[in-house]
Structure 1
C-alpha cells in the first residue's frame, strides 16, 4: 500500500493506492461480507457490512484487515478490461490535462482489434455511448478537464466471446474545492431543536429482552426497544441490539448505524468483546429478530422506496422519525450506568454514514464519528447539473426531467435532512473514507459534505474502490477506532 497526502488550504486527505488488483481485492473481501447473497457484487453490498468488517478486524485481525494480497491461481484463465488514468492517485489540479488508457487482455496476452463501448462525462451523468477499437498497446482517451471542481468518469464495456466485461475509472479535479449546492436554511437549528423537544415529550419506556443465544462469557446481549415519535401525533417504537461487557466497567460506547436496507441484526458483538458497550440499531420501527421473509416482504412492499416517503413534508418525512430514534439511542448509551462518560462513537456507512454525522451534529455527548461514503449528501446536486448523493433524488429521467417531481417542496424538505448541513455543524473528530468509483454515493456528493466540515477530520480515499471498503481503509479504521476508544488492539 502507498499513501499520497494531498494538502490544500481547506483540507488534507490521504489517497490509498492499493497494490492488490481490483478484481482480486473484491474476491479477497467477498467472504467477510456477512449479510449479502454470495453472488452479489461487493461494490453494491449494503454498507452496514463495512462495519461488520470493522467488528471482525477488532476481534480477529482477518486477512482483509491486514491488507494481505490474495491472488488467483496462476493457471486460472482471465480476461481483463482495464481503464487506467495517467496519474496514480487519479487526482488532478483544476484545468490539468488528463487521459486514460483502455486495455483488454486475454490472459496472458493483450488483445487487439476489439471494439469497446464507453461513456465519458461527469460522474453519474456520463453521457451517450460511443465506440472505439482498442489496439494491442491500449487506447488512450483524453478526459475533458471540467471548468469547476468535479469528477469525470469513464465507463467502458466489451463483449469477448461469452463474457461481457465492464469497468470504470473516476478522475477527481480539485475535489477538495467542491462546494455544496444544497441550501442551508436559516431555521435549520430551530427546526431540530423543536423536533428534539417533541421527542422529549414521549416517555422512552425502555424494554430489554435478554438474548442468551447471542451472549457469552465476555458480553451480555439484549434486544432493546423504546418509544419514539411517529407520524403526526402518533408514537412508534425503535429497536436495537445492545451488547454490554461483563464486569463493573466503566466502558466506552459505540452506536452502530445501519446502511440502507431492511434486515435482522445480531449486534456489534466483536467490538463489545473488546470492551465497549455497543448498540446496533435498525431504523424502520420493527423488531430485529424476525423471520427473513418478513423483511423481504417489507422491502418489496410497505417500505419500498422508504427514503422518499413524505418527502414533500419536512414534519413527516421518513427520516424525521429515524433521526429522532437514533438520537434517543445515543441518549440511552450516554445514560447507561456502565458508560465511562468519556468516549461515545457514532459509526456507520452510506445511510449509516449520514446518520453518524447527523447524530454527532445534534447530540453533544458524541465524542467522535466514523463515516464511510455518507449518503444523503448534497442531494440537490442533480438539480444543479451534477451528481447528488444517495438515494439519487431528482436524478434526470430518460426525458431529461428530474425525477421526484414536483420538485420545489421536496427539495425544500431535503435541506433539513441533508448530510451537508449536519456536516457544517460537526464539532468532534471524524474518520471518513470512500472511493472515487462509488456509483451509490458518488464522490461529488461526499466531497461536498466533507469539505464543509471544520472539526478535526481524517479522510482516506481508495480511488478504484466502489461502495465497498478496501483492506487498507479497513485497517486504518481499525487503528483509529482503537485509539478513540482506548482499547487494546
Structure 2
C-alpha cells in the first residue's frame, strides 16, 4: 500500500468516525452536565416590546439539579448584558425574563461550574428579525468601483493549469488541482475541480470557502451525480499540501488576513478574493464539459458571504446557497448593535480599527451592499444562536434581498448545521441544476 492510498483510507475512516459522532450526538449528550436554556415561544420569535421568558435547566446524568446556583446574563447579542446575576435552581430549573423594544436578538446565557469545570448554554430570542435593516451605507460609486475592478481584472490572462490527482479520482469522477491567474499578473487562485468521467454537458457548482487557511479535497459526490464542482481557496496558495503548512500560515503570515489593508479600498485583502470568485466562474465557463448556463454558487460563513457577493457581481450565476453569511453589516457595532464577522468595529477592535478610512472601505465590501443587487433564487439556512456571525448582521443582508428566497430556519443552531440541513441543501441544488 503506497502512502497516498494509506492517507486516503485513513481520511475515509476518520470521516466515517466523525459521521458516527454526529449521528449519535442526536441521542447522546456530549457531557454529563447539560445546561439547557429555552425561550417560552416554540418559534423563538417575539414582537418588539414583548417579554421573553427563558427557562434554565441543569441536568446531571439527565437528572435535574436542585438547590444549585447558576449564573446568567441577558442582553442584545454581542453587547453588554442588560441583566445578570445568579439564581437558585428549584426543581432543577429557574427563569429569567427580558425584552427588546426594537428589532434584534436577545440572548440569555447560563453558566454553572461543577467539579471545577464550567458548562454553559444559551438561547436567543428573535425580535421581528424580518424588520432588521442595515446600518451600513451604500457608496454612490459602489458599482462604478466594482465594474471597473472587474473590467481591469478581465484583462489578465487566465493561464489555467490542471494537475490530475489520481488517488482522489473515483470510478465516476476525475479530480484535479486547478490554478488560475487572478486579478493581477502573477496572482493565482487555486481549487479542486471534480468532473464526471462520462462525456457530456453538465451543470456546475462553485463552492466558496469559510474563513481560515486549510487544504481542500473537492466535492466528489456531486460530480458522481453529474455536476461539475470547483471548490476554491482564497489565499493564492496551492490547496493540496500537508496541514502543517496551513497551520503555520494561519499563525503567522496570514494571521488576521481579514483586516489587511482595510484603510484602502483598492488594496483591501478581499478585493482579490471577490474578483477571484469571478475568475473561478470564468474558468468554469471555459470548460467544454460545462453546459454553458446552469451554475450555482454555495458556501457558509465567509463562504456564505462570498456566495451573495459572487451572485451580485456576476450575472452568469443562476442560483445561490448561503449559510450564516459573514461580512454582513460590519458597522452594526458603531450603531449600538452586533455587526458581522470579523467584528472589526466591536469594542475590543474599535480603538484602532474604527477610523474613517477603514469605515469607508468597509462599505465597498459589506455583503449588505451586494445583497441589494441579488436577483436570482437563493437558499439560506441558519439559526438564532450563532455567536460567530450574529443573526442581527445576516438578517440585515437577507432583508434587502428582493429575489426569490427560501429560508430554512433552525432556531437552536449556532455556527453549525445539522446533517439534515446539508441534505436539504444538496437536494435543493440538485433540483435547480436539473438532477
What TM-score comes out, normalization by structure 1 length? 0.82
For this pair of structures, how many residues does the alignment match? 421
Return the offset for 1:403: 4.4
Given candidates 353, 356, 366, the residue that maps to 1:408 is 356
Given candidates 61, 69, 78, the residue that maps to 2:32 is 78
C-alpha distance after superposition, 1:24-68 (max 9, x if no partner) = xxxxxxxxxx99xx9xxxxxxxxxxxxxx9xx9xxxxx7899x89
Greater relative contact order structure (CA < 8 Å, 6+ sep): 1
Change over 3 Å in CA distance of 1:111–1:322 after alignment to 2: same
Structure-2 residue corresponding to 1:380:
331
1:224 equivalent in alignment to 2:164: no
C-alpha distance after superposition, 1:140-178 (max 9, x if no partner) = 1111x2221010001110012243210111000000000
2-structure distance, mates of 1:103, 1:126: 24
Superposed structure 1 runs of 4+ greater than 6 Å apart: 62-65
Structure-2 residue corresponding to 1:294:
245
2-structure distance, mates of 1:409, 1:131: 43
Return the offset for 1:105: 2.2
Say which SS state the counterpart of residue 350 (structure 2) adopts. Answer: coil
2-structure distance, mates of 1:204, 1:304: 28
Given candidates 97, 121, 132, the residue that maps to 1:142 is 97
1:175 equivalent in alignment to 2:129: yes
In 2, are the aligned partners of 1:334 and 1:365 still within 8 Å (CA)? Answer: no
1:197 equivalent in alignment to 2:197: no
Return the offset for 1:357: 0.7
> Where do 5+ consecutive residues of structure 1 fail to align?
1-33, 39-52, 57-61
Structure-1 residue corresponding to 2:45:
91
2-structure distance, mates of 1:108, 1:426: 47
Q: Which has the higher helix share?
A: 2
2-structure distance, mates of 1:167, 1:64: 20
In 1, are the aligned partners of 2:73 and 2:108 still within 8 Å (CA)? Answer: yes
Given candidates 255, 278, 291, the residue that maps to 1:340 is 291
2-structure distance, mates of 1:287, 1:315: 24
Structure-2 residue corresponding to 1:48:
none
Structure 1 range deviating more: 438-447 or 473-482: 473-482
In 1, are the aligned partners of 2:59 and 2:92 still within 8 Å (CA)? Answer: no
Structure-2 residue corresponding to 1:392:
343
In 1, are the aligned partners of 2:344 and 2:353 still within 8 Å (CA)? Answer: no
Structure-1 residue corresponding to 2:365:
417
In 1, are the aligned partners of 2:299 and 2:307 still within 8 Å (CA)? Answer: yes
1-structure distance, mates of 2:271, 2:209: 16
Change over 3 Å in CA distance of 1:342–1:202 after alignment to 2: closer
C-alpha distance after superposition, 1:315-350 (max 9, x if no partner) = 000000111111100111123211112310100000
Return the offset for 1:395: 0.5
Structure-1 residue corresponding to 2:198:
247
Structure-1 residue corresponding to 2:6:
none
Say which SS state the counterpart of residue 97 (structure 2) adopts. Answer: strand
Given candidates 51, 73, 92, the residue that maps to 1:119 is 73
1:268 equivalent in alignment to 2:254: no
Structure-2 residue corresponding to 1:4:
none
C-alpha distance after superposition, 1:452-481 (max 9, x if no partner) = 000000111111111010233223212211
Return the offset for 1:286: 0.3
Say which SS state the counterpart of residue 86 (structure 2) adopts. Answer: strand
Return the offset for 1:126: 4.2
1:352 equivalent in alignment to 2:303: yes
Return the offset for 1:70: 3.8
1:439 equivalent in alignment to 2:387: yes
2-structure distance, mates of 1:290, 1:77: 35
1-structure distance, mates of 2:241, 2:214: 9
2-structure distance, mates of 1:235, 1:190: 25
1-structure distance, mates of 2:31, 2:364: 52
In 2, are the aligned partners of 1:219 and 1:273 still within 8 Å (CA)? Answer: yes
1:455 equivalent in alignment to 2:403: yes
Given candidates 212, 216, 223, the residue that maps to 2:166 is 212
Change over 3 Å in CA distance of 1:434–1:78 after alignment to 2: same
2-structure distance, mates of 1:336, 1:98: 54
What RMSD in Å do the two structures reach over aligned CA positions?
2.3
In 2, are the aligned partners of 1:334 and 1:344 still within 8 Å (CA)? Answer: no
What TM-score comes out, normalization by structure 2 length? 0.92
Return the offset for 1:355: 0.6
Say which SS state the counterpart of residue 295 (structure 2) adopts. Answer: strand
In 2, are the aligned partners of 1:309 and 1:317 still within 8 Å (CA)? Answer: yes
